[in-house]
Amino acid sequence: MFSQIDKQILKSWRQYAVEPRLAKLTGRTLRNTGPRIAVLGNCQAFGLAYAMKVMDPSATVDHFSAIGRSRVANMDMLVATLATYDYVFTHDFLEGHLRGGGDSEELIRRLPKTVKTPAVTFAAFHPDLIYIQDKSEPLHGFIFGPLGPYHSAIGLFGYRAGLTLDETRAAFNENVFQALGYLDLWNEAATGFIENAKLYGFDLSTDLMNWARRGVFMYSIVHPKSFVLFDIAKRMWEKAGLKPPARDFGYYEIHDLARSEIFPVYPAVARVFGAQGGYLFKLQNHHISHTVGDFLNLPQYLGSSWKTFEKTGQEHLANPRVDAWLDDEKTKTYVMKLARENQKAGLKPTL
């Protein structure tokens, strides 16, 4: 069975080698007569590719996934495929996605026209979101819970520290967030984002300021809203020597990443940014034509998370941040104290 990138490569060759010949035989006029553009990368790559198609509807714009493993495609096949495009953009990707190895650096060496672009990572809105790495699976080997790979640091701390579910739920209050530094991460997140973009040759400082004026612009620490990806797509075009047209992207935008899991912006965190927050956790739903999907409130999310933790086993629940809290007796004792005091005071949020 073909993987996603295998199918995308086959589709690309059909478009490139077969469809023009069929059009010539049948007299059909090809719709896409502009440049061929390829966007390779993570979950943000589709949004970038879609934005480029909006910017030039005459272009052939194809998205190639660097998520998961190919069953057929190797680096030779990928390079040969991408060589048929006028412009190629890629996120960083590690060895293991393609058969026989090969990463984004090798792709750039073998196909110098490739432009590397930064992925968006921004934690200020979701300071509690963590991943739990499965050490037996180094490539995207995350432990999945009720919200896929997204876990709560406080939830994991409560489980490992021996708090009850109610006590852990009571830790989701402003005094605990303050103690853990959740309410003042903006400067660190903004500086890290801007400096990382500079490593790729992009100055996104003005864009970040504009996004911030629109409120919360992330669904999670790695899933930006579509207007963010549109602005980055424009910068990618400029770097490649293309001129982005004036376009009302908001009229055509697709919130592709909203189909995936959405981590809430906690109320005390949201107030820092003048936004409305809550504890509503959205489950992934990539079949919106069939079902509206489902959500979990805080007690449901924590209860389901703890079932995952119990099934996984303590020895597999390592996370650097939570490990540090547990190893620091002062932090551990203080957070547990606050959680228990909140619980006795009836401060157990739900939504």
Residue 244 placed within a domain: no
Q: pLDDT for 107-139, tens place per residue?
A: 999 999 999 999 999 999 999 999 998 766 655
Quickly list H helices, the chain: 4-13, 19-26, 45-55, 75-82, 104-110, 153-161, 165-170, 174-179, 186-199, 205-213, 226-239, 267-272, 298-312, 320-327, 329-344
Weakest-pLDDT range from 199-203, 284-288, 320-324: 284-288
Domain range for 292 is 129-183+260-343
151 and 104 in one domain?
A: no
The 10 Å Cβ neighbour count of residue 144 is 13
Number of domains in the chain: 2
What is the tens place of the pLDDT at every residue in 215-243?
A: 999 999 999 999 999 999 999 999 999 99
- Mean pLDDT over 191-202 rounds to 97
Over the stretch 296-348, which tens digit does the pLDDT of each residue have?
999 999 999 999 999 998 888 989 999 999 999 999 999 999 999 999 999 99
Name 145's bridge partners.
148
Q: Examine the domain organization and report whether 11 and 101 are in the same domain.
A: yes
Q: In this predicted model, which residue has the larger pLDDT, 13 or 206?
A: 206
**Domain-located, residue 336:** yes
Give pLDDT tens digits for 16-28: 766 666 656 676 6
Q: What is the mean pLDDT of the chain?
A: 92
Q: Which residue is listed with tokens 């896929």?
A: 148
Residues 10 and 135 in one domain: no
Rg from Cα positions in the chain: 23
Confidence band (pLDDT; 50, 70, 90) for 30? low
Structural domain includes residue 213: no
Q: Considering only CA atoms, which of 242, 243, 241, 213 is closest in space to residue 227?
A: 213
pLDDT tens profile 333-344: 999 999 999 999
SS3 content of the chain, % helix, strand, coil (to 5): 45, 10, 45
Classify 88 as helix, strand or coil. Answer: strand
The dihedral region occupied by 142, where left means phi > 0, alpha psi between -120 and 50, and beta the remainder, is beta
Residues 207, 217: Cα–Cα separation, whole Å = 11
**Count of CA atoms in the C-beta half-sphere (13 A) of 119:** 17
Name which residue leads in pLDDT, 78 or 325: 325
Whether 105 and 145 share a structural domain: no
Length of the chain: 351
Of the chain, the end-to-end C-alpha distance in Å amounts to 42
Exposed, middle or buried by CB within 10 Å (0-12, 13-18, 19+), for 107?
Answer: buried
The pLDDT score that the predictor gives to residue 36 is: 94
- Whether residues 54 and 151 fall in one domain: no
In a domain, 271, yes or no: yes
- Among 68, 94, 117, give the residue marking a domain's end: 117
Q: Which one-letter DSSP state was computed for residue 251?
A: G
Same domain (yes/no): 20, 153: no
| pLDDT given at position 139 | 53
Shared-domain flag, residues 167 and 279: yes
Higher pLDDT, 69 or 44: 44
